């Protein structure tokens, strides 16, 4: 293992084991392992991962009368009350130096099984708290990257295009999940028009993905807001509301 | 029933029956029924709605060797092969003149149970097809509106704020789901900082929501792209890719 070996964690969300998403996932595993990194994979469909936040997320109960997700999360974290599946995913997330989310773009967003992985595993008090957001988020030091497939062609996802810029479509994930918790967000690797592409085009996509991964260390991170730049406004709002 | 009576369909996604989201839902039911409209509600948590797209969505099989979601959806629609829970939700959606999505903003997006309701119920060939998008989408004539709660204060969701404009955060839903399928998108009703507000503030939010609903017929729709304005670019891209 090289001294620069990283822990990579790929969270994979596609129902078909022979899908192009699976080929991208395997490409990432082989490429990153061949560079000397350790790679863990959570294949959410294969794991039958449950994406629905509920009281079943916890073995502890903070308030039996009213289920407040955030408060139950914080209580469970403080009292060792996380369900086993959440604890396992959280451990993998905390070990990771680089998180890769592998998914098809469904309805301009994440497949529900992946959205629910975030809803359940990104626990309040562990990955953020009210004063630890963005550059102060608790996952700082980690990098994150989305690898996405779309049905629509590239031309439908550019600036001023029919669907709008793919960066805007991915912004809630990039900004509101990854940067929000302190992670450095790498440029996404987007594969367009996948269902309508032939073998040669798909192989070219995999080759481009290999190149993207080999140089991921040199990719310029996406610009993200800093809490420090908004602190005055943020505090003022909280104060105004509290009166 | 008034001659202007509409079919309203509220899809509700919160795990706690006494939550503020539930109060917003009830406010909508009572307000809209008192105006003479018919209101149907899908309470996804109460229904234990399954949000995970899988072969279980269909009683038919198009390709047993490779699960392509879009192709299986189209085949199931053509052959009466939809699972009962999907068929029921689709029937409610198709009857609706006004769709209201009621949810807490989790990680800048929908709770997984609601994202999966869209993933499973918004079937290819039924709500859109490759040439029926946006103003030509198959749900045209329907109106849709999000009613959202946030933990963060309003000041953290304005233009140039820490989290960015709430309209940008909701854009994948507004543009990529609701407008994409032809629906007219009404301005969202956003309730900020909900967990930290007292009783008086919450009651004021419910009163404002009532006013919003009473005049929903007069609300100006959000501007959305039109397929007609992008058709040349879209066709060109498809043609270029096909060569």
State the pLDDT at residue A238: 57
Which residues of chain A neighbour B195 with C-beta distances below 8 Å?
68, 70
SS3 of B110, please? coil
Contact B234, A156 (CB under 8 A): yes
Q: At what angle do helices A112-121 and B112-121 cross, to 10 degrees?
A: 180
Read off the pLDDT band of B146 (50, 70, 90).
Answer: very high
Mean pLDDT along residues B159-169 = 95
H-state helical runs in chain B: 20-34, 69-78, 84-95, 112-121, 166-169, 171-173, 199-214, 231-242
A21 sits in which H/E element: helix A20-34
- When scoring B172, B183, B230, B232 by the number of chain A Cβ atoms within 10 A, the one with the most, hence best to mutate, is B172
State the pLDDT at residue B230: 86
Ordered domains of chain B (ranges, CATH): 7-242 (3.40.50.360)
Q: How far is B133 from chain A (nearest CA, A)?
A: 10
Mean pLDDT along residues B132-151 = 97
Nearest CA-CA partner of A163 in A202, A185, A195, A192 = A192
Mean pLDDT along residues A83-94 = 98
By percentage, how much of chain A surpasses pLDDT 90?
89
- The mean predicted confidence, pLDDT, of chain B is 94
Read off the pLDDT band of A231 (50, 70, 90).
Answer: confident
Spatial distance between the Cα atoms of A182 and B145, rounded to a whole number of angstroms: 32
Q: Which residues contact A45 (CB under 8 A, 6 or more apart)?
A: A12, A13, A14, A15, A113, B52, B54
Chain centroid offset of residue B217 CA: 18
A116 sits in which H/E element: helix A112-121
Nearest CA in chain B to A49: B52
- For residue range B50-96, list pLDDT tens digits in order: 999 999 999 999 999 999 999 999 999 999 999 999 999 999 999 99
Spatial distance between the Cα atoms of A133 and A139, rounded to a whole number of angstroms: 9
- For residue range A149-198, list pLDDT tens digits in order: 999 999 999 989 999 999 999 999 999 999 999 999 999 999 999 999 99
State the pLDDT at residue B4: 83
Residues 76-95 of A with CB under 8 A from B: none
Q: How far is B203 from chain A (nearest CA, A)?
A: 15
Q: Which of B155, B176, B236 sits opposite A234 (nearest CB)?
A: B155
Structure tokens at A184: 């450095």
Q: Which of B68, B177, B195 sits opposite A70 (nearest CB)?
A: B195
State the pLDDT at residue A240: 56
Neighbours of B30 (CB within 10 A): 13
Spatial distance between the Cα atoms of A137 and A135, rounded to a whole number of angstroms: 6
DSSP assignment letter at B13: -
Among A126-130, A227-231, B99-103, the range with the most confident prediction by mean pLDDT is B99-103
- The mean predicted confidence, pLDDT, of chain A is 94
SS3 of B109, please? strand
Degrees to nearest 5, angle at CA A88 with A52 and A25 = 80
Are residues A233 and B155, on separate chains, in Cβ contact within 8 Å? yes
Mean pLDDT along residues A30-43 = 98
State the pLDDT at residue B130: 84
Residues 187-226 of A with CB under 8 A from B: 193, 195-197, 225
Q: Which residues contact B238 (CB under 8 A, 6 or more apart)?
A: A153, A196
Are residues A54 and B15, on separate chains, in Cβ contact within 8 Å? yes
Q: Which of A16, A118, A133 sits opposite B66 (nearest CB)?
A: A16
Which residues of chain A neighbour B154 with C-beta distances below 8 Å?
237
**ipTM of the prediction:** 0.95
- For residue range B107-136, list pLDDT tens digits in order: 999 999 999 999 999 999 999 998 899 999
């Amino acid at each position: 293992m090289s001294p620069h070996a990283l822990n990579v964690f790929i969270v994979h969300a596609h129902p078909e084991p022979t899908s192009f998403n699976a080929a991208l996932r395997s490409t990432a595993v082989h490429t990153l392992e061949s560079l000397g990194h350790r790679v863990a994979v959570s294949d959410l469909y294969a794991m039958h991962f449950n994406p629905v936040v509920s009281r079943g997320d916890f073995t502890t109960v903070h308030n039996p009368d009213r289920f407040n997700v955030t408060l139950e999360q914080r209580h469970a974290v403080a009292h060792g009350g996380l369900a086993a599946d959440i604890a396992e995913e959280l451990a993998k997330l905390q070990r990771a130096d680089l998180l890769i989310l592998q998914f098809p773009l469904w309805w301009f967003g994440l497949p529900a099984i992946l959205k629910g992985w975030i809803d359940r595993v990104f626990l309040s008090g562990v990955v953020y708290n009210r004063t630890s957001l963005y550059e102060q988020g608790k996952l700082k030091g980690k990098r994150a990257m989305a690898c996405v497939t779309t049905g629509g062609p590239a031309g439908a996802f550019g600036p001023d295009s029919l669907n709008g810029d793919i960066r805007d479509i991915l912004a809630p994930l990039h900004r509101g999940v990854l940067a929000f918790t302190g992670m450095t967000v790498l440029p996404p690797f987007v594969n367009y028009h996948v269902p309508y592409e032939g073998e040669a085009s798909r192989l070219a996509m995999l080759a481009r993905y290999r190149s993207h991964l080999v140089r991921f260390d040199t990719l310029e991170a996406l610009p993200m807001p800093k809490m420090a730049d908004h602190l005055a406004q943020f505090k003022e709002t909280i104060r105004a509301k509290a009166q």
